[in-house]
Structure 1
C-alpha cells in the first residue's frame, strides 16, 4: 500500500509539473500573440497614415494637373489673341483654336486634325455675288459634312454671316450639312443666343456680356 501511495504521489507530481509546464507554454504563446497583435495594430495605423498621405498627394497632383491644363489653355488663347491683334490670323492660328478645344470637338465626332479649308470663288455669281470668295472649314466623316467657323472673337455679325454662308456652301456642294459649328475663344452673349436660335452648335472659351 505504501508503494502504491508513493506511486500515486509521484504521478500527481508529474501531472502537476506537466500542467504547470503546459500553462507556462500557453502563457508564453499568449504573450507572443499579444505582441504580434500589437505589431499588427501598429502596422495598420502606419498603413492608414501612409494611405492618408497618398490620398492627400493625389489630390494635390490632381489640382496641379487641372491648373496646368488651365494654364495651357490660357497660353493658347493668349497666343490666338496676340496673333489676331497683329493681323496674322491665318491657318496656323485656326489650327491652334481647334486644338485648344479638341476634347469638345471630339465629343461632337470631329477630329480637329482632319478639318480642311474649303474655298470657292463664285466667278459668275451662280451661288452668291459675282466674284465673291466663300471660305469655310469642312469636316467630312461617314459621308456626313460638318461646316465649321473658327474665330478668335465671334460677334452677332459673324453668326449671321456663317449661317448665310453655310446655306451657300450647301448649294455649292449639293448636300445638306449634318451640323454647323462655331469654335471661338470668346463669343458675345447675343451672338451665342442667336446661334442657338439658328441651330448652330458652339464651342467657346468665354462668353462676353
Structure 2
C-alpha cells in the first residue's frame, strides 16, 4: 500500500493547509487567496486537492492515454512512412503500367498490321493455289501429249533405224567402190606429180605395236626420187586421226629403213581445218585434188 500511504499524507497535508488558512485568515477572500497560493507552491497539497476532487485519477488516466497516444503516434508515423513507401511504389507501378499500356497499344497495332498482312497473304496463297492447280492441269495435259509424241517418236526412230540399216548396207558397198575409184584417181595424179611410172608400197609387220598399239601389218606408199623418200598416204578424205596415224607410220619407216631424206605427203580430195592444223604441226604436207 504505497498508494494508501501517499494518499494519507496528501490528506494530512490538505488538512494542515485548511487549518492554517482557517487560523491565519479572517475573511473568505483571504481563504481563497491562501488556497490558491498553496496550490501554486505546495505540490503535495495540489495532489491532495486533485485527489479529493477526483482529478488525480483523471490525470493518471490522461497520462496513460497520452502514453498510449504517443505509442499510437509512433505507430502512425511508421504507418505513414510505409504508406509513403507504398505510394512511391504505386507511382512507380503506375508508370510501369502506363509504359506497358503504351507497349501493348504498339503491339496491338503491330498485331493488327500483321493480321491484315496475313489476310492478304492468305488471299495470295488462294490465288497461287488456283494458278498452281491450273498449271498442274496444263502439265498433265502436256505430259499426255508428250507421252503420245514419245510413242510416235519411238515408232519413227524404229523406222529410221531399219532405214539406216538398209542405207548402211548400201553405203558400205558404194563406199568401197567410191574409195577405190578415188584412190585410183589420186594414184594417177601421183604419177603425173612425181613424173614416175609406178608408186611403190612398203609393207612391214609392226610386232611392237608402235603405230596402233598392237602387232599388225603396216603399209605405206613410197616414191623414191633422187635421195628423197616421199612417204605418201592416199585417202578420199582426211581427219585428225588419219594425220596422226600416218605420222606414226612414217616414224616407223624412218626407224626401220633409215632413208637419207623423207617427206610426208597426204593426197586427198578433202581435209578439214583440224586435220590441216595437225598436219602443219607434224610437218605433213596435204595435197588436195
Range into which the TM-score falls when normalised by the shorter chain: 0.3 to 0.5
Larger-Rg structure: 2
Q: Which has the higher helix share?
A: 2
Q: Which has the higher strand share?
A: 1
- TM, length-normalised to structure 1: 0.48
- TM, length-normalised to structure 2: 0.36
